[in-house]
Amino acid sequence: MSLIRAFRGLRPAPGQAGAIAAPPYDVLSSEEARQRAAGKPWSFLHISKPEIDLPREIDPYAPEVYAKAAENLQKMLAAGVLLRDDAPCYYAYRLTMPGEGGDHVQTGLVAAANVADYDSNRIRKHEFTRPDKEDDRVRQIEALNAQTGPVLLAYPSSATADAQIAAIAQGIPAADVTADDGIRHQIWVLTDAAQIEAITRTFDAMKALYIADGHHRSAAASRVAAARHQQGREISADCFLSVIFPDHQMKILDYNRVVKDLNGLEESALVARLATAFTVEDSAGRAQPARPGEFGMYLAGRWRRLHIKPEMIPDDPVESLDVSLLSNHLLGPLLGIADLRRDKRIDFVGGIRGLAELERRVDSGEMAIAFALHPTSMNQLMAVADSNDVMPPKSTWFEPKLADGLVSHVLD
């Protein structure tokens, strides 16, 4: 089978996209989702976070929650607010994020990606997954008989693919929604069979695709496909819902760290011990790192800039990442943070919140120290994936986020 293929998307009926589109299921708590969906009966949160329609005390992983998701999907189908395309299509998806220096725009392709290519690592990973989160997505897919949360993929720079996708994103879009956070989401539909075949050939010629966000969704899709094959069911579970952007358009923000205490050290002792691996200088203002190997440290109301010493940077795609350098030379040996996944003394703050959020967490007394990092690059991400390795937890924060509900993939 091809690396990607067109599919019959399940989409908002004309005029309904604004009522349906919702943030991704994993960026909101249950309570935040309840508030977002209040007074919005067709919000996709009723499908992606169905516990909002059940008593607050319910376990969000209870069987009743997945059953409620299926019930809500059927209600939307019965009401005609979601419709399915008659023939397989590709879709262009454009994200526009306002910014101080101008809008960030990225345009990608909504497609069904081949599970077999994920299993063989042609669709490459860079993160470990957690079994409990995989289980949750498997149950959601099985309950709905559909994949509703797209996996964010990147393709290596291809002028041909860029031009083919740009050709779809012409004229009046089928959906055009500006979300509460100011991000604009636009969808165009491609039905022309010759263009669909040309795009399929272009992607088939690519060496690999790269998962940017959605490791649990893709792993769950693989498990569902394997289970259905064992049952002898020949269905479109052999693919998973994806949105594929060119690597040069992807935007990765910093993923910063805050720690509850200094591991028994006084401020002066900590700063002195930093000299083993870093040069340290005071910062007149917020120390936003300007380049790889530079870190901002906020402690006791003041910012410092830390520069990793060149001899501390190994020739290794994982160990040379800034997130690794900070862990290996500061968080671990000085602050005693050995396990980023399980240690309750550390928390992570996406760069979209800015350095002011780091100051707030420390100044409030909730945390003792904060670290600002330079963003991981797409080249670094792809180098790690190409080496069949994984990044440390919380290495990348992609913005803008995809919306749920604009295109779903039914398994039949």
Buried b / exposed e along 50-69 (16+ C-beta atoms within 10 A): bbbbbeeeeeeeeeebbebb
Integer Rg of the chain from CA: 22
pLDDT reported for residue 235: 66
Residues of the chain with CATH 3.30.1760: 255-374
Could you give the CA distance from residue 379 to residue 392 in angstroms, rounded to a whole number?
Answer: 16
User: Is CATH 3.40.720 the classification given to domain 255-374?
Assistant: no
Which candidate, 408, 410, 407, places its Cα nearest to that of 168?
407
What interhelical angle do 131-144 and 215-230 show, nearest 10?
60
pTM of the model as a whole:
0.92
Could you give the CA distance from residue 48 to residue 324 in angstroms, rounded to a whole number?
Answer: 33
Q: Classify residue 208 as left (phi > 0), alpha (psi -120 to 50) or beta.
A: beta
Token pair in block for residue 200:
């399929």
How many other C-beta atoms lie within 10 A of the C-beta of residue 403? 23
Q: 126 Cβ partners below 8 Å, 6+ apart? A: 210, 211, 381, 384, 385, 389, 390, 391, 395
**Per-residue pLDDT for the chain (412 aa), expressed as one digit of tens each?**
899 999 999 999 999 999 999 999 888 889 999 999 999 999 999 999 999 999 999 999 999 999 999 999 999 999 999 999 999 999 999 999 998 888 999 999 999 999 999 999 999 999 988 899 999 999 999 999 999 999 999 999 999 999 999 999 999 999 999 999 899 999 999 999 999 999 999 999 999 999 999 999 999 999 999 999 888 876 667 999 999 999 999 999 999 999 999 999 999 999 999 999 999 999 999 999 999 999 999 999 999 999 999 999 999 999 999 999 999 999 999 999 999 988 999 999 998 899 999 999 999 999 999 999 999 999 999 999 999 999 998 999 999 999 999 999 999 8
Could you give the CA distance from residue 161 to residue 201 in angstroms, rounded to a whole number?
Answer: 10
Token pair in block for residue 90:
């590709």
Q: Where are the beta strands (DSSP E) in 72-136?
A: 82-84, 90-97, 104-114, 123-124
- From the number of C-beta atoms within 10 Å of its C-beta (0-12, 13-18, 19+), residue 321 rates as buried
Integer CA distances (angstroms), 37 to 30, 56, 181, 335, in order: 10, 15, 15, 41
